[in-house]
């Protein structure tokens, strides 16, 4: 069972075979890559966002009991870094676009990937973008939802405009091991997603892809933080939307130069636990850097202990959670 987004493979297959012939897609990508890029850094307004400081630690990465691309299990030293407390929201992305005039890849290509509920496959939906992630006939994305229909290139451009970057996948996993859910639960293989009748993350319930029962309160994306914060202060580290990382998708230990896709982490509201367990702490998703999908977003990271002046403010944990965070770190 693939650790993640069978979706992206389906989408690419759809793009090649049914929606966009490979030649046209290559031309579109080439044209987009060659288009002049304005300087978005000077235009981006200050961010209304908080970042969590995560300390240097030796932590487990990967899982020898998990699918092959999550092996081998190793222990790595992850240097201190900052990570956005929540995924970047629609409101934050709108502020960036309004000030800079930035055009996303989905807008340049004329559409983004949307799940076809009838077939379970992915199709390129004309007009689907970060404003209307399922297309022109779908609802507007709510301001407090994570922004989606953003490619890896869009995510990187947003973070760079604030002097930030995307996290590496190991940084992301280190952060997630501090407790993915409000009760500090870190998903591993065969873990229960619900506890005492309460769902711990926004995932899929029901017969995929026909009917999402929304037993967790949401069909589709949920507002950031709707399921509470982990002891670290981080929200949405499991489910809701996949998140881009800066890492190339290659087998652990292989040269990054072999990569053609970038890693995503965290799973999404489309994860039906019967075939997708992307919400597990070690699960890896992947897609080409120009792919935009209705269930993939991102959050930004930075080196050091304090965010750059335009990058956001530092999140201060409430006292009760500081002890919880320490316990979670010991357990990770």
- Helix orientation angle between 152-161 and 90-100, rounded to the nearest 10 degrees: 70
162 vs 269 by CB, closer to Ca ion: 269
Q: Is there binding between residue 107 and Ca ion (CB under 5 A)?
A: no
User: By CB under 5 A, what part of segment 241-300 binds Ca ion?
Assistant: 269
**Spatial contact of 266 and 278, defined as CB atoms under 8 Å apart:** yes
**Spatial contact of 47 and 300, defined as CB atoms under 8 Å apart:** no
How many residues can be counted in the chain?
332
SS3 assignment, position 258: helix
Match 């049914």 to its residue by tokens: 18
159 vs 221 by CB, closer to Ca ion: 221
Q: Is there binding between residue 216 and Ca ion (CB under 5 A)?
A: yes
Give the residue, chosen from 181, 202, 235, 329, that forms a contact with Ca ion under the rule CB under 5 A.
202
Least distance to Ca ion, CB of residue 236, Å:
12
CA distance 124 to 20: 8
126 vs 217 by CB, closer to Ca ion: 217
Least distance to Ca ion, CB of residue 211, Å:
12
**Spatial contact of 113 and 293, defined as CB atoms under 8 Å apart:** yes
Number of residues that bind Ca ion (CB under 5 A): 4
109 vs 269 by CB, closer to Ca ion: 269
Of 29-37, 45-53, 134-142, 208-216, which segment contacts Ca ion by CB under 5 A?
Answer: 208-216
Least distance to Ca ion, CB of residue 193, Å:
10
**Spatial contact of 171 and 83, defined as CB atoms under 8 Å apart:** yes
9, HSE (Cβ side, Cα atoms, 13 Å): 6
CA distance 290 to 33: 10
x-or-dash string of contact with Ca ion, 299-328, rule CB under 5 A: ------------------------------
Cβ-in-10-Å burial (0-12, 13-18, 19+) of 112 comes to buried
205 vs 246 by CB, closer to Ca ion: 205
Q: Is there binding between residue 218 and Ca ion (CB under 5 A)?
A: yes
Least distance to Ca ion, CB of residue 113, Å:
19
269 vs 315 by CB, closer to Ca ion: 269
- Token couple for 185: 């639960």
Q: Which residues bind Ca ion (CB under 5 A)?
A: 202, 216, 218, 269
């Amino acid at each position: 069972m693939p650790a993640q987004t069978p979706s992206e493979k389906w989408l690419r297959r759809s793009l090649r075979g049914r929606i966009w012939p490979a030649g046209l897609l290559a031309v579109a990508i080439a044209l987009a890559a060659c288009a002049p890029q304005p300087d978005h850094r000077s235009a981006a307004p200050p961010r209304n966002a908080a970042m969590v400081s995560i300390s240097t630690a030796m932590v487990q990465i990967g899982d020898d009991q998990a699918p092959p691309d999550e092996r081998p299990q190793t222990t790595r030293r992850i240097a201190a870094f900052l990570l956005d407390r929540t995924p970047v929201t629609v409101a934050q992305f709108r502020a960036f676009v309004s000030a800079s005039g930035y055009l996303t890849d989905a807008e340049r290509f004329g559409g983004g990937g949307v799940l076809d509920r009838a077939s379970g496959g992915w199709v390129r939906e004309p007009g689907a973008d970060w404003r209307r992630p399922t297309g022109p006939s779908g609802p507007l994305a709510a301001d407090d939802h994570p922004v989606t229909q953003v490619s890896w290139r869009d995510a990187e451009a947003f973070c760079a405009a604030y002097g930030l970057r995307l996290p590496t996948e190991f940084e992301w996993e280190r952060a997630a091991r501090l407790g993915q859910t409000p009760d500090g639960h870190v998903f591993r293989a065969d873990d229960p997603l619900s506890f005492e009748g309460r769902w711990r993350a926004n995932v899929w319930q029901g017969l995929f892809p026909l009917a999402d029962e929304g037993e967790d309160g949401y069909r589709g994306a949920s507002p950031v933080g709707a399921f509470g914060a982990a002891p670290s202060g981080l929200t949405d580290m499991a489910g809701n939307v996949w998140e881009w990382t800066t890492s190339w998708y290659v087998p652990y230990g292989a040269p990054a130069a072999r990569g053609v896709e970038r890693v995503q982490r965290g799973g999404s509201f489309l994860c039906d636990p019967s075939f997708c367990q992307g919400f597990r702490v070690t699960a890896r998703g992947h897609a080409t850097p120009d792919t935009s999908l209705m269930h993939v977003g991102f959050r930004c990271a930075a080196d050091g202990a304090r965010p750059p002046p335009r990058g956001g403010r530092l999140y201060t944990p409430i006292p009760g959670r500081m002890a919880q965070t320490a316990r979670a770190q010991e357990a990770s």
